[in-house]
Amino acid sequence: MTAIVGAAAGPGPTAAAEPPPPGLRRRRWVPYLLLLPGGLWLLLFFVVPTVQLAGTSLYDRSGSLELGYTQTFAVGNYIDAITAYWPHLVRSALYSGIATIICVVLGYPLAYAIALKAGRWRNLMLVCVIAPFFTTFLVRTLAWKSILSDSGPVVGFFRAIPFVPDDFRLLATPAAVVCGLVYNFLPFMVLPLYASLERLDGRLLEAAGDLYARPATAFRRVTLPLSMPGLIAGTLLTFIPAAGDYINAELLGTPNEYMIGNVIDSAFLVRLDYPQAAALSFLLMATILVMVFSYVRAAGTDEVV
Amino acid sequence: MNTDDLVLENVTKRFGSVTAVDDLSVTVPQGSFFALLGASGCGKTTTLRMVAGLEELTEGTIRLGDKDITELRPYRRPVNTVFQSYALFPHLNIEDNVAFGLRQRGVRNTATKVAEMLELVQLPGFAKRKPAQLSGGQQQRIALARALVNEPQVLLLDEPLGALDLKLRRQMQIELKRIQTEVGITFLHVTHDQEEAMWMADTVAVMNDGRIEQLGAPTEIYEFPASPFVSNFLGQSNLFAAEVSGTNGADLLLTSHGERFAAPSARAHSTDGRVWLGVRPEKVRLALPGEDTPATHNQVHGVLTDTCYAGVSTEYLLRTPWGQEMSVFSANAAAGEPLSPGTEVVAHWYPPHSFVLDRRLGEGDEIAQYSADPLGVAP
Amino acid sequence: MRFWRWVANHWVLVVGLLVLAYLFLPIVVVFLLSINKPANRLSYDLSPQWTFEYWLHPFGAAGIGDALRVSVGIALVATIVATVLGTLMAFALARHRFRGRGATNVLIFLPMATPEVVMGSSLLALFVTLRVPLGFWTVVVAHILFCLSFVVVTVKARLATLDPRLQEAAMDLYANEWQTFRKVTLPLVLPGVAAAAMLSLSLSFDDFIITNFNSGTTVTFPMYVWGAAQRGIPRQVNVIGTAVFLLAFVLVVVVQLRGRRKARFV
């Protein structure tokens, strides 16, 4: 179980890169040999396409697949893309940002409960956090369509509240999209947090109590700082995929809620406007990287890997 | 007939800019129980690992008998190790653990040998259990069995008793000594516990900063330490800064803080200039002023500052006229009240119980602290 | 009164359990949908009519069996390759010091940090340029790519918990490097490799975005569901969803219980 947790904890600062113990002689070429197949794969199918995508984003947009593209270093593609689709970029950042915050609010107590209060039930609870993953992503999201549907119990409950308008709905609103995002990425928040909190020595809290700290203070000054690596890893692992997601927007929202992912998808697969699609992709990457690095810097850690 | 002594010659180990083991040369006689004693970081474990083949030497050679094993991989050396953390394979049961080395060497019927070894470490019938089911002491004995069953030429023990509680440790010390005598294999034992080393070993090498400061039988190095470090790492010593002022036959005459002392030249590592005059606390007697004390004894007058009554003995601390604290152990051989703080006393001892060490420039405050520290904190 | 005292002392646990319930809610709904006969094809609501017909004919909807078979096939191939490659890389990173270690770590982190949209589209561009026909194998290639990083991280985490003294002990007991690996390291790292494989399987089976970009006319199960979302989801989809969930849940619980009976490894 810890292995799966470790995986979901991802490359966060909790996975420190320790060198192996000194002493035993190693043939110098062994690590390179081990890395070769996987490294080649990553190089060929990740690095090369990404570089190519960068090149594509600078093609002349008037070309097409049949007629061929001319490389014109058209930085204007980026300008066009931003002017046309900046609302979507903003919406992506906004929805995933809100979703991430909600995930923190919901996920921290759960992670805390599992790490420090669950006792014997800890492993079972962990399984329960990961289990919903096993139903496919789409099937889960569609279930939300049923839960939030206009004739369902949730909407019914809200409509029953006195000053709520009768045509109140949840589906096809930003709320539904955010709800879907929160639901689908909550485990990515909980698991790294759990990994961090699990290492917390309970005696530190006892010591804090012994030194006159009330529970809230002990949390603020002991638990929270020590769980920072997990919190950061969780936030990153939640925010990044959420920003690029478009399934939730498409299934639970309307074109008014479409995120940048939807635009990129249609640009690639429907409109076949490859240069613009590539430019949009890089804009998304750039937005994410900027937010990630400023966040990491502000949180005071320089370990992202 | 070649004896299979373990010989380390000019062995040096550097980790980057840190020298862990510095030009070490030592011979471990075959069949002896040899202890490498020192504080953490002195290089004893590194030395052990180099003998095992788990660390590469930066310089020097290691020979077993007439065979140079310096370049050999660990699995080609007739040497086995008992690790500090036992390192039992968690996924194998006890029998497979103990038989591991045998099976690697192609031995077929391991069952009888394993059973014999389990008998030797007094854990018969444990063959089918898993390491996680055993207590710390039991795991330690299995680790020992796993190493011994291969009948190595040298058995290396890396602080194997460190994790055990006091009573169990005592028990295991006796066990290990018994087994070594019975089996006759060379044991190289690394420890920071000086009592353990003196108890068990035939020869003790005291290490400090990557070098051996003194090597010899326990009585030898205890009664006649070679340096201030050894004098306070093994037990405690009172050290007085002194100068050699002359000789008187076979004795050395010394002056310290205006007082005169004598010590046999045979008990001196340095016979002129600046020295330390040392005496062990248990060799010193206390007398009240006015009482008769033997004329030949060295004497120091002082005032008692502390009395620690421990039943078997009493430790007294007294302050000398020049402000140094001196420690005296007095066995409570006769019934009676211990002396109380504030009493004026005369500390005296038989001159041949002294030892004289070389005093180097700058070795002032650091060493003075040894004498002043009744707990004998190692440097 | 005592109830509220208990809640005050244990409010964190209560909130945690509530969140857990929230996580399971859709699963329950999926199950309910699978035994419910919808009022019409496009409805997502629970109608008053309940039936087990979908469980009795899970492959009744057209194309669902094929889509499932494709998904499983892709998942198996991708898992095997990604697990092997990833484990090798994990060993290199965890056990060796070499130049370029930091760069390799970043290289492995990047796919996890890249949005699926970007990865999928850039791979598509590559395939198009190389004129590789899109289909089963392009999807496999894509899946291996993103599973690789997760495998490396999982196995590396497991390797980090392994006591390096065990390897030394084995060598001290006459096992050479290969024998040590085979008899000591491999058995102890296997739970981590197994966890990585399971993670890989679920990531691959579950993937939609990258698959959608690179599959051409091949249809995987998630793609089938996506396509059906426009035309009306056959309830068999929910049956499959619930069945996969139960299967995986039982599997994980069984592994957990077996792990607990042996000495603590996990």
Any idea what the CATH number is for the domain that residue A105 is in? Answer: 1.10.3720.10
For residue A36, is it within any domain? no
pLDDT (mean) for A119-127: 79
Give the number of other Cβ atoms within 10 Å of residue A105's Cβ: 13
> Least CB-CB distance to A137: which of C145, C196, C222?
C222
Contact A22 B15 (CB under 8 A): yes
For residue A50, is it within any domain? no
Q: How far is B293 from chain C (nearest CA, A)?
A: 59
What's the mean per-residue pLDDT of chain B? 89
Distance CA B87, CA C164 (A): 9
Looking at the structure, do residues B136 and B278 belong to the same domain, yes or no? no
Spatial contact of C180 and C171, defined as CB atoms under 8 Å apart: yes
Q: Closest chain C residue to B89 measured between Cα atoms?
A: C166
* pLDDT at res. C162: 85
* pLDDT at res. B29: 92
* pLDDT at res. C266: 37
For residue B155, is it within any domain? yes
> Least CB-CB distance to A139: which of C25, C105, C241?
C241
Contact A23 B15 (CB under 8 A): no
Give the number of other Cβ atoms within 10 Å of residue A75's Cβ: 11
Spatial contact of C216 and C235, defined as CB atoms under 8 Å apart: no
Q: Which of A10-19, B96-105, C213-222 has the lowest mean pLDDT?
A: A10-19
Distance CA B304, CA B307 (A): 8
**Which residues of chain B neighbour C187 with C-beta distances below 8 Å?**
91
pLDDT digits (tens, 9 = 90+) for C213-249: 888 888 898 888 888 877 777 888 888 888 888 888 8
Which residue did the predictor score with more confidence, C41 or A140?
A: A140
Looking at the structure, do residues B206 and B272 belong to the same domain, yes or no? no
The domain in which residue A162 lies consists of 76-299
* pLDDT at res. B216: 94
Q: How far is C128 from chain B (nearest CA, A)?
A: 50
Q: How far is C260 from chain B (nearest CA, A)?
A: 12
Which residue did the predictor score with more confidence, B302 or C60?
A: B302
Which residue did the predictor score with more confidence, C42 or A232?
A: A232
Distance CA C248, CA A4 (A): 14
- Picking from B55, B73, B75 by the largest number of A CB atoms within 10 A of its own CB, the best residue to mutate is B55
* pLDDT at res. C265: 43
In the structure, what pLDDT confidence band is assigned to residue A304 with cuts at 50, 70 and 90?
Answer: very low
* pLDDT at res. C25: 87
Using an 8 Å CB-CB cutoff, list residues of chain B that contact chain C. Answer: 52-54, 73-76, 79-81, 83, 85, 87-91, 100-101, 104-105, 130-133, 146-147, 150
Distance CA B86, CA B137 (A): 10
C-contacting residues in A 38-77 (Cβ below 8 Å): 38-39, 41-43, 45-50, 52-53, 56, 65
* pLDDT at res. A27: 65
- Take residue C59 and report the two structure tokens written for it: 């492959």
- The SS3 assignment for A37 reads helix
Give the number of other Cβ atoms within 10 Å of residue C136's Cβ: 16
Per-residue pLDDT for A60 more than 80? no
* pLDDT at res. A297: 75
Total length of chain A: 305
pLDDT digits (tens, 9 = 90+) for A174-194: 888 888 889 988 988 888 888
Q: Which of A124-138, B311-325, C250-264 has the lowest mean pLDDT?
A: C250-264
Torsion sign, CA atoms B47, B228, B215, B280? negative
* pLDDT at res. A64: 65
Rg (CA), chain A: 23
Q: Which of C90, C196, C98, C110 is nearest to A45 (CA)?
A: C110
Element containing residue B372 per DSSP (H, E): helix B365-372
Residue A294 DSSP code: H
Q: Which three-class secondary structure string do you get for chain C? A: CHHHHHHHHCHHHHHHHHHHHHHHHHHHHHHHHHCECCCCCCCCCCCCCECCHHHHCCCCCCCHHHHHHHHHHHHHHHHHHHHHHHHHHHHHHHHCCCCCHHHHHHHHHHHHHCCHHHHHHHHHHHHHHCCCCCCHHHHHHHHHHHHHHHHHHHHHHHHHCCCHHHHHHHHHCCCCHHHHHHHHHHHHHHHHHHHHHHHHHHHHHHCCHHHHHHCCCCCCHHHHHHHHHHHCCCCHHHHHHHHHHHHHHHHHHHHHHHHHHCCCCC
Distance CA B254, CA B50 (A): 44
Task: State the CATH number of the domain containing residue B171.
Answer: 3.40.50.300
Domain count, chain A: 1
Q: Which of B222, B245, B263 marks a domain boundary?
A: B222
One-character DSSP codes across B126-170: -TTS-GGGS-HHHHHHHHHHHHHTT--SEEEEESTTTTS-HHHHH
Spatial contact of A234 and A107, defined as CB atoms under 8 Å apart: yes
Contact B104 C179 (CB under 8 A): yes
pLDDT (mean) for B145-149: 93
Q: How far is A37 from chain B (nearest CA, A)?
A: 29
Q: Does B55 touch chain A (CB under 8 A)?
A: yes
Looking at the structure, do residues B228 and B187 belong to the same domain, yes or no? no
Spatial contact of A237 and A188, defined as CB atoms under 8 Å apart: yes
**Euclidean distance between the first and final Cα of chain C, in Å?**
41
Spatial contact of B30 and B63, defined as CB atoms under 8 Å apart: no
Residues linked to residue B302 through DSSP beta bridges, in sequence order: B345
Distance CA B10, CA B25 (A): 5
Per-residue pLDDT for A1 more than 80? no
* Alpha carbon of residue A230 to chain centroid: 14
Q: Which of B234, B239, B169 is nearest to B204 (CA)?
A: B234
Looking at the structure, do residues B351 and B314 belong to the same domain, yes or no? yes
* pLDDT at res. B362: 64
- Take residue A128 and report the two structure tokens written for it: 């329960």
Q: Which of A110-119, A124-133, A270-279, B54-63 has the highest mean pLDDT?
A: B54-63
Q: Which of A138-147, B254-263, B363-372 has the lowest mean pLDDT?
A: B363-372
Q: Which of A132-146, A184-198, B118-132 has the highest mean pLDDT?
A: B118-132
In the structure, what pLDDT confidence band is assigned to residue B4 with cuts at 50, 70 and 90?
Answer: confident
* pLDDT at res. B364: 59
Per-residue pLDDT for A5 more than 70? no
CB contacts < 8 Å between A and B, how many? 9
Strand pairing category for B203-208 and B251-256: unpaired
Looking at the structure, do residues B24 and B166 belong to the same domain, yes or no? yes
Looking at the structure, do residues B231 and B217 belong to the same domain, yes or no? no
Distance CA B67, CA C213 (A): 66
Distance CA A45, CA A303 (A): 26
For residue B377, is it within any domain? no
* pLDDT at res. A7: 41
Domain C64-232 matching CATH 3.30.420.40: the answer reads: no
Calculate the CA dihedral of residues C236, C238, C244, C245 and round it to 10 degrees: -160
What's the mean per-residue pLDDT of chain C? 84
- Picking from C97, C173, C189 by the largest number of B CB atoms within 10 A of its own CB, the best residue to mutate is C173
In the structure, what pLDDT confidence band is assigned to residue C179 with cuts at 50, 70 and 90?
Answer: very high
* pLDDT at res. B68: 92
A-contacting residues in C 90-109 (Cβ below 8 Å): 91-98, 101-102, 104-109
**Euclidean distance between the first and final Cα of chain A, in Å?**
22
Q: Which residues contact B349 (CB under 8 A, 6 or more apart)?
A: B279, B283, B284, B285, B297, B298
* pLDDT at res. A21: 45
Per-residue pLDDT for C263 more than 50? no
Q: Does C173 touch chain B (CB under 8 A)?
A: yes
Looking at the structure, do residues B269 and B192 belong to the same domain, yes or no? no
Contact B75 C188 (CB under 8 A): no
Looking at the structure, do residues B210 and B256 belong to the same domain, yes or no? no
Which residue did the predictor score with more confidence, B341 or A118?
A: B341
Looking at the structure, do residues B147 and B69 belong to the same domain, yes or no? yes
Contact B130 C263 (CB under 8 A): yes
Domain count, chain B: 2
Checking C53-60 for CB contacts under 8 A at 24+ apart, the result is C54/C234, C54/C235, C54/C236, C54/C238, C54/C239, C55/C239, C57/C236, C58/C236, C58/C239, C58/C240, C58/C243, C59/C236, C60/C234, C60/C236
* Alpha carbon of residue C257 to chain centroid: 21
Looking at the structure, do residues B197 and B309 belong to the same domain, yes or no? no
The domain in which residue B262 lies consists of 224-290+297-372
A contact chains, 3+ CB pairs < 8 A: B, C
B contact chains, 3+ CB pairs < 8 A: A, C
* pLDDT at res. C183: 92
In the structure, what pLDDT confidence band is assigned to residue C262 with cuts at 50, 70 and 90?
Answer: low
Give the number of other Cβ atoms within 10 Å of residue C257's Cβ: 10
pLDDT (mean) for B22-26: 93
Contact B132 C263 (CB under 8 A): yes
Per-residue pLDDT for A302 more than 70? no
Contact B55 A22 (CB under 8 A): yes
> Least CB-CB distance to A45: which of C141, C157, C248?
C141
CA of B256: how far to CAs of B76, B227, B228, B322, in Å? 57, 18, 17, 10
For residue B20, is it within any domain? yes
* pLDDT at res. C261: 62
Distance CA B327, CA B233 (A): 15
Q: Closest chain C residue to B150 measured between Cα atoms?
A: C173
Q: Closest chain B residue to A23 measured between Cα atoms?
A: B55
Q: Which of B200, B222, B244 marks a domain boundary?
A: B222
**Which residues of chain B neighbour C183 with C-beta distances below 8 Å?**
100
Contact A134 C244 (CB under 8 A): yes
Looking at the structure, do residues B182 and B138 belong to the same domain, yes or no? yes
Contact B130 C179 (CB under 8 A): no
**Which residues of chain C neighbour A32 with C-beta distances below 8 Å?**
92, 98
Looking at the structure, do residues B228 and B343 belong to the same domain, yes or no? yes
